[in-house]
Structure 1
Amino acid sequence: MNFLKSLPALVVGAALALSASAHAADYKGEYKVSTVLGKPFPWGEAAEKWAALVSERTDGRINMKVYPNAQLVAGDQTKEFTAMRQGIIDMAVGSTINWSPQVKELNLFSLPFLMPDFASMDALTQGPVGEKIFDAIRKQGIEPIGWAENGFREVTNSKHPITSPADLDGLKMRVVGSPLYNDIFTALGANPTQMSWADAKPALTTGAVDGQENPLTVYDVAQMETAGQTYVTLWHYVADPLIFAVNKRVWGSFSDDDKAIVKKAADDAGAYGIGLARKGMTEDDQSLIKALEARGAKITTLTDEQRQKFVDATRDVYNKWKDRIGADLVDMAEKSISER
């Protein structure tokens, strides 16, 4: 009698086990994760942390391998989003800048001088603005599941300190592949040149370009002072949040439990990466800035009055791109920042 009573439970258990086994059999042996920067950049560290946490928490059932330097798209980082949508890439920790040609809302983070501090960035990514942006990405066939950070982008050059727009006049500046950046640096009187990160450092070393803009962590790890980038101005003109994302078909193939694991791992890896991206650059910790100065970097921090001159010089660009991005979204962002 006891045996007969236990039959339904045995049957159900066997069916569940069979279902789980069949589902796991649909999983790939390896999921390709694309990044532009690998370790020891905070960007690459966050991606590797994500892969490690997922492997650990699924007992190796989900195996993610990180491919840095945009190697899955032959070094052309602006093609990463499209390649993930097409299934060439399974997952990515991607730049809001690099994905902005496909998702116009991502240009929000590149509006000049929108975000004055880290709290402003958090107000956007962790609030209703972030949700709106994730909705826009989902419409493109990609599932966004978490945020990380490349950091505020600062300006460097080999010629002289930059404290006013006039100091950029005529400088050849490497910028990322976004027309918004062309507009910003043109408005400031510079000569912007778009090129991939892989081409940037050689161009700076040879003097083919005079300067560039990137987070201090990139300057640090890449030892940009050895490429002649002696002069650094901290102006926080734009920021580059990163997004953990998964191809829609891949995401749909995961069980609900595995989706929860992958997302929680992204949240944890994102927090880890954000900590690395901000280390040594906060009010309480200036250790990275001091270390760079010890290596020969001449660092300038703008006064409020100096910064305002750059704000004024780029206001027409801001207004032009506000309309392109969506005035409602930009208004929401401005409100979120004012209430932070």
Structure 2
Amino acid sequence: MTTTRHLAKLAAALAGAAVLSASLSAQARELSVSTVLSDAFPWGQAAEKWAELVEERTEGRLTLRVYPNSQLVAGDQTREFSAMRSGLIDAAVGSTINWSPQVPELNLFSLPFFLPDEAAVDAVTAGAAGEMIFEAIESRDVIPLAWGENGFRQLSNSRGPISEPADLDGLKIRVVGSPLFQDTFNALGADPTQMSWTDAQPALTTGAVDGQENPLSVFDVARIDQVGQQNLTLWNYMNDPLIFAVNRQVWDSLEEGDREILREAAVEAGQWEIDMTREEESGRLAAIQERGVNVTELTDQQYQAFVEATAEVHDKWLPRIGEALVEAARESVEAR
């Protein structure tokens, strides 16, 4: 009898331990989050803010572990969306540029000189076009939650000031892996060269490429002026919103309450990062100028010359992006 009671107690203890272990596993869960840039940049700070809010509001039941520098896709940022879609990555704070090869609708934001200012960007993301883009992403088994901001991309080079399309003639410009960027710079007479940012920095240093385009935050934090980029043109030729998103299977596996926390935290982190990025813009520009960079700001007439020079790019890409989407975005911009 004693042996029987002992075995029964042991079985009960083991069962209790199994239940406790299962309970703890259900309560605590870690999701991987991919970003291209670290928390030295606003982009990485957005992901960290999201993680901070989620852990706080779930009391540690759900944690987001941020992996910067595209390390979950071996440095190839254009594979991020595919990796999230397949489940290799649980979530991401990603760029519309980097995801556009898999989601053509995201090329809307890369149409040259389509979005003239921040108010236009906000009108598109908050309007019908923004909803259509989120629907397009969700149709590919990724759940979009909120918008962030990488900002308008500006042009720098080592040769001289650029204030008209002719100034770009023959310049080798490093661009990201997007056919739309190739078409845009070809239309301007430049020689676009596709390469990762890791490869771009030594190429700029040696003069293998003459220039590059990035938001002011990246130019400032990465000290791009230190690799020969002493001429900067503020031309707002395209904007790169960020998107907070989660793999569909991961999303479906979460309890409704945790989904809501994940979404609300993403929206809050996104707005926090948008506000911060915009507030810091003037200070970053001043810091860049203090380091001796020659800054060119386009007049309305000069800006219009670039618009006209890239009109053919719009004609080519409108059907690829979707005429209804482009029209919805245009209406939002005009009504802003």
TM-score normalized with structure 2 length: 0.92
Which residues of structure 2 form unaligned runs of 5+?
Answer: 1-18
**What does residue 42 of structure 1 align with?**
42
The number of aligned residues is 318
Runs (4+) off by over 6 Å: 21-24
| Aligned residues with identical type, % of pairs | 59
Asked if the contact 2:28/2:61 (under 8 Å) is kept, the reply is no
For residue 303 of structure 1, the aligned residue among 296, 299, 302 is 299
Map 1:267-282 to 2 at 5 A: 267-281=267-281
Aligned to 1:315: 311
2:239 matched residue in structure 1: 239
Find the counterpart in structure 2 of residue 253 from structure 1. 253
Instruction: Indicate conservation of the 8 Å contact 2:28/2:60, yes or no.
Output: no
Note the aligned Cα RMSD (angstroms). 1.6
Determine helix, strand or coil for the equivalent of 2:264.
helix
- CA gap of 1:196–1:27, structure 2 versus 1, over 3 A, is farther
Q: Which residue of 1 aligns with 2:100?
A: 100
| Alpha-carbon contact 2:85-2:247 (below 8 Å) kept | yes
* Counterpart Cα distance in 2 of 1:263 and 1:254: 12
Cα distance in 2 for partners of 1:60, 1:198 equals 35
AA in 2 matched with 1:250:
V
Q: Secondary structure at the match of 1:186?
A: helix
**Structure 1 residue 332 corresponds to structure 2 residue 290:** no
SS of 1:292's partner is: helix
**CA deviation after TM superposition for structure 1 residue 22, in Å:** 6.4
Q: Kindly indicate whether the alpha-carbon contact (under 8 Å) linking 1:279 and 1:288 is maintained by their aligned counterparts in 2.
A: no
Return closer, same or farther for 1:117/1:24 CA change in 2, 3 Å cut-off: farther
* Runs (5+) with no aligned partner, structure 1: 1-18
1:266 aligns to 2:262 (yes or no): no
Instruction: State the 1:28 CA deviation.
Output: 6.7
Q: What is the aligned partner in structure 1 of residue 173 from structure 2? A: 173
Give the alignment's TM-score, normalised by structure 1.
0.91
Q: Report whether the alignment pairs 1:290 with 2:286.
A: yes
Structural mapping, 1:199-218, within 5 Å: 199-218=199-218
Q: Distance in 1 between matches of 2:87 and 2:199?
A: 27
Is the 8 Å Cα contact of residues 144 and 244 (structure 1) preserved in structure 2? Answer: yes
Rg larger in 1 or in 2?
2
1:280 is displaced (CA, Å) by 3.5
Tell me the distance in 2 between the aligned counterparts of 1:329 and 1:22: 47
Matches of 1:262 and 1:52 in 2, distance apart? Answer: 11
CA gap of 1:196–1:330, structure 2 versus 1, over 3 A, is same
